[in-house]
Structure 1
Amino acid sequence: MSDLCEADSLFALLLAGDEGAPALLAPERPALTRGGLAQQVRRVGSALAARGIAAGDRVAIVLPNGPEMAAAFLGVASHASAAPLNPAYRAEEFAFYLDDLDARAIVLAEGVDSPVRALAAARGLPLLELAVPQGAAAGVFELAGKGSAAERGRPAGAEDEALVLHTSGTTSRPKVVPLMQCNLLASARHIGEVLRLGPGDRCLNIMPLFHIHGLIAAVLSSLGAGGSVVCTPGFNALKFMGWLAGDQASWYTAVPTMHQAILARADRQPEAARAAALRFIRSSSSSLPPQVMLALEATFGCPVIESYGMTEAAHQMTSNQLPPGQRKPGSVGVPAGPQVRVLDDDWRSLPTGAVGEVAIKGPNVTPGYQANPEANRQSFRDGWFRTGDQGTFDADGFLTITGRLKEIINRGGEKISPREVDEVLLDHPAVGQAVTFALPHPKLGEEVAAAIVLREGQEADEQALRAFAAERLADFKVPRRWVFLEEIPKGPTGKLQRIGLARQLGLAE
């Protein structure tokens, strides 16, 4: 493990290491070295300084996935505060986030027709347009409004805000999560230590870069260890195997739905999957079905490391271990950076085997939600943060997440973990994907429902799946409503979302 992540600021981290080593790569683009990336970050700082933007000021970044997005994030976060927004947002969504964040400027690709342009004009926000010179290395761009060398931006420090994101807000108004440079550096260091990353490692990033997973687990952890990252245009199952081979990646990280899509393609190219010579595969952001983990290991011939992360923790909290350490299918591993406890409703620690709410404390954890005293009162105490996830530790110190507290189905007083039902359904040979969710019920309050995607060429009806589940689950856990789909709706980061699924599918009024 490199000591680069011991740097006390993002800018110091980017200045450290071998200047000639590759840092950012992209399909069909020349690689950008660490030295070249440091120069690009300085240019971004100058552009911000020319607009009067400095530490503490928030800059919205509206860019597609790719090396420019990665470099823009690093440049802005090193001098101010980066606020990445999903480029697919509609005008109303952009308006909400720009106002909620109090953004000082917007970074947008030159010539892109986005509703954010009109919003910038209406609010008097500077629009910094990004242009990529012909033949430029991955991540190199020019930014309108850049200053002269005399106007070089002053890098921000460890205690300054570097990144600001919103929670998903599936059941309430999204909460603003500010993260300091020290939070990001700690999380990148934790990830690098767990995965034993070094200068020879190369991550193939397929995660969106407006989300904590891709920004920290793929980009910053790689650079913090002296390694490199391949910045793809975004997840594409048809191109994945080609990217993997072409850029000689040693690992990739993704959400379970992406892993499942990759498996479907890799099954048709088993020799190519083995030839990829991955050192490991990482999974995070939602629970990885044990069946998918085992299939990935068999297909690619390498360990699959499931980790547990969330925005408020600058991503990683726990992780399974690389060999010769343990990894347990269905578990999210052992504490991997912060302290982790399971608490009761009164903030008291519960013993091994007991189920309670997972709480964390450590240098990677946000200091608190912005302008939300009630949420802070409920979620933070003495440095501890309640995650909203329900879980339990086993005798080996491995944590299993039994469900998101808000996702637990309450069927007439009987509490049901939807993940438990998912895993049973996925054991059926015809089931490719399964998402169990709550369906409103006039008498019971909630009923158990399941959305199913069948494997290609396989058949199964409601009667068959109900009988299969009834042999393996208590009667009250067996889904009463079944929905067969070609594709289950996903969130913008590729995660399957239980909350609100009944409404999305037209099953709830």
Structure 2
Amino acid sequence: MKQNILATRLEQAASTYSDRVALTGEGVKLTYSEWLDRSRQIAKHLTEFGLIEHEPVMVKCSNHPLDFVAFLGVWLAGGVVAPVHRTTPDAVVSAMQAKADCQLCVDLLDEVEPLKALRVQGELASDASRRQNLEDGALIIFTSGSTGLPKAAVLSHAAFSGKLDQNQRLLSIQSDDVTMLVLNNTFSFGIWVSLLTLLAGGRLLTQAKFSPADFVESLAREGVSFLGVVPTMVRATFSALSEGELANAKANLQAVARLRSVVIGGEPLGKDLSQSLRAFIHPAALFDIYGLTETSTCDFVLQPRDFDTHEGTIGQPFPGIEYRVVSAADDEEGPGELQLRSPYLMSGYLGDEELSKAAFEDGWFRTGDLAVRHSDGYVSIVGRLKDVIVRGGNKVTPVEVERALTRCPGVAAALVTGTSDPVMGQRIQALLVPKAGGEIDALLVRAELTKILEKFKHPDACFVGTELPTGRTGKVDRGQLAKWLATQSVAPLPFWKA
């Protein structure tokens, strides 16, 4: 049997750091040797169950230490890990299975049936493109499709292992590091943060459910030195805790003096949130990353030294990442689609040959993000191709409006979408979240917007809420806002006049 790169590397790490603690959380504590022994047992059971090499295995996950026993077990047995969260509705799981056609399912928290068949033993799909996509496959990550159906992105061992090496060169994780996993381990961001720690011999502390109070308390109590988060988690923390509680948490972090680096990504960070987070974690370093599931994440990084001079950009590409900005109007200085080329791209979307072809243009992956390339080599994301609002013939990118709104008095966060209008074509609608303990004054917001944003880009209506809607990845979800506006009878912010 061909030995998979990640299996080999993790097996070597487990042997090297055998007596050190590898995984803790949910009342479970595993040393590296215990993790490896259990993973080998799972691999043995999978082989006895008839697992075919390079075939997908659905792994039920919820940020539990045993999830990583299942990951390594599947890889040792030659399978491809398809992580699915334990809370995923049955209808969604069925749609995922329709794409991935997993042979088996592993759920190590299921005491009755931890291993079960999902299709007839020995039955094997004969589709040539499927076999090609799964060759050297390590992960199948399910991402949201524009039709609402999940896309199954296949990431190879070579691609994901190479991206881990890239990230290690940036972050230098060591065997004395403690990483707290609050990101879902069903998605690439959470997975690479976890594997990077385990390859280095560090301790991975898992948290099954994100709670702002528990989050900040655990950072100091556990001596966390490395952390990955999305901006939604940071906003939730700063909104849920009082100024006194945050000041106390910050003092505890500084007293422990363990936190070394924080990686954030998944959505735009925003100037105010960036400044607040950097002040909270000081002197730890903040790395703002940009990447996609299909590229094994982490293609650009805004480094700590660049925040003051290049705020609002995604930084510069990692070594080995090529990019181009493609504009339909051939405008080299204007916005265009950001396209990427690297050794770390996905093998394709499983079960979607046409979609896989459409994702690439002459070998370049089409991100779907609208970007602007600056003369100094830095890049800014200004929106999504599919999110562009056309209001009265004028094209408006929601991200630009959101950034302007978060610069206004009292606004902690903003999300913008377009809704159909018989006169203007589309109207600009915004959901605003006030800063903790404050209120939003429409007149003050409009006065500030007038200074920083063209009039035709101003929202036609603003609504106020306690939080931004999010999808299953934890990132803000513009589509959920559009649905909310279409189905709920809510009053806009008073005294707002577009």
| TM above 0.5 | yes
**Correspondence for 1:311:** 293
* Contact 2:96–2:150 (8 Å) recurs in 1: no
CA RMSD of aligned residues (A): 3.0
User: What is the 5 A alignment of 1:474-489?
Assistant: 474-489=454-469
Partner of 1:132: none
Matched, 1:257 2:221: no
AA in 2 matched with 1:292? L
Q: Which amino acid in 2 is paired with 1:306?
A: D
Q: In the alignment, which residue of structure 1 is the partner of 2:190?
A: 214
- Aligned-partner SS, 1:56: coil
Moved more, 267-276 or 446-455: 267-276
Contact 1:358 1:387 in 2 (8 A): yes
> Percent of aligned pairs with the same residue?
26
Alignment correspondent of 1:239: 214
Write the letter of the residue equivalent to 2:280.
T
Shift of 1:171: 4.3
Q: Which residue of 2 aligns with 1:336?
A: 318
The one-letter code sitting in structure 2 at the alignment partner of 1:209 is N
Which residue of 2 is the match for residue 145 of structure 1? Answer: none
Choose the corresponding residue for 2:70, options 69, 72, 91: 72
Matched residues in 1 for 2:29 and 2:88: separation? Answer: 30
Q: Distance in 1 between matches of 2:30 and 2:351?
A: 39
Separation of aligned partners in 2, 1:447 and 1:433: 20
Q: Please report how far the alpha carbon of residue 499 of structure 1 lies from its aligned counterpart in structure 2 after TM superposition.
A: 2.8
Separation in 1, partners of 2:64, 2:407: 37
2:60 counterpart letter in structure 1: V
Contact in 1 for aligned 2:328/2:336 (Cα 8 Å): no
Q: Secondary structure of the equivalent of 1:239?
A: helix
SS of residue paired to 2:238: helix
CA offsets 1:261-299 (integer angstroms, 9 cap, x no match): 233436242312433532121111111112111111111
1:12 maps to 2:8: yes
Change (3 A) 1:347 1:337: farther
Cα deviation, residue 62, structure 1: 1.9
Per the alignment, residue 189 of structure 1 pairs with 165
Structure 2 CA distance, aligned partners of 1:504 and 1:110?
Answer: 35
Q: Which residue of 1 aligns with 2:202?
A: 227
**Partner amino acid, structure 1, of 2:233:** M
Aligned-pair CA distance for 1:338 = 4.3
Say which SS state the counterpart of residue 357 (structure 1) adopts.
Answer: strand
Question: What's the offset of the Cα at 1:345?
Answer: 5.0
Q: Normalising by the residue count of structure 2, what TM-score does the alignment of the two structures yield?
A: 0.85
Q: Kindly indicate whether the alpha-carbon contact (under 8 Å) linking 1:192 and 1:225 is maintained by their aligned counterparts in 2.
A: no
- Counterpart of 2:144 in structure 1 is 168
The whole-number CA distance in structure 2 between the counterparts of 1:441 and 1:456 is 34
2:350 equivalent in structure 1: 370
| CA 21–394 in structure 1, closer or farther in 2 if over 3 Å, else same | farther
1:284 corresponds to 2:265: yes
Q: Which amino acid aligns with 1:248?
A: G
Whether the aligned pair in 1 keeps the contact of 2:26 and 2:207 (CA below 8 Å) is: no
Query: 2: distance between equivalents of 1:424 and 1:98?
Result: 41
**CA–CA distance in structure 2, aligned partners of residues 254 and 113 of structure 1:** 34
Question: Deviations for 1:416-447, whole angstroms, at most 9, x for unmatched residues?
Answer: 22222222222234222211111222222221
- Which segment is superposed worse, 70-79 or 448-457? 70-79
Name 2:452's counterpart in structure 1. 472
Alignment of 1:299 with 2:280, yes or no, is: yes
Q: Which residues of structure 1 form unaligned runs of 5+?
A: 1-6, 127-157
Q: Does 1:418 align with 2:416?
A: no
Query: Alpha-carbon deviation of 1:457?
Result: 2.1
Q: CA deviation at 1:327?
A: 7.5
Structure 1 pair 315/468, CA: closer, same or farther in 2 (3 Å)?
Answer: same
Check the 8 A contact 1:308/1:316 in 2, yes or no.
yes
The answer to whether the 8 Å contact 1:435/1:452 transfers is yes
More helix by share: 2
Residue in 1 that maps onto 2:90: 91
Aligned residues: 465
CA separation of 1:195/1:501 partners in 2, compared to 1, >3 Å: closer, same or farther? same
Distance between the aligned counterparts of 1:236 and 1:215, measured in 2?
20
- The equivalent of 1:153 in structure 2 is none
Going from structure 1 to structure 2, the CA distance change for 1:109 and 1:41 (only over 3 Å counts) comes to closer
Give the whole-Å Cα distance in 2 for the aligned partners of 1:347 and 1:59: 45
CA distance in 1, matches of 2:390, 2:253: 42
Instruction: Tell me the amino acid that sits aligned with residue 420 of structure 2.
Output: P
Taking the aligned partners of 1:271 and 1:455, their CA distance within structure 2 comes to 22
Looking at structure 2, the residues matched to 391 and 403 of structure 1 have their Cα atoms a distance apart, in angstroms, of: 7
Displacement of 1:346 in angstroms is 6.9
In structure 2, the residue corresponding to 1:456 is in which secondary structure?
A: coil
2:364 corresponds, among 375, 381, 384, to 384
TM-score, normalised by the number of residues in structure 1? 0.83
Who is 1:4 aligned against?
none
Q: Does 1:26 align with 2:34?
A: no
Indicate conservation of the 8 Å contact 1:338/1:364, yes or no.
no
Match status 1:267 vs 2:246: yes
Q: Are 1:406 and 2:402 an aligned pair?
A: no
Q: Structure 2: how far apart are the matches of 1:443 and 1:325?
A: 42
In 1, Cα distance between the equivalents of 2:48 and 2:112? 25
| Alpha-carbon distance in structure 2 between the residues aligned to 1:404 and 1:297 | 27
**1:448 and 2:428 matched:** yes
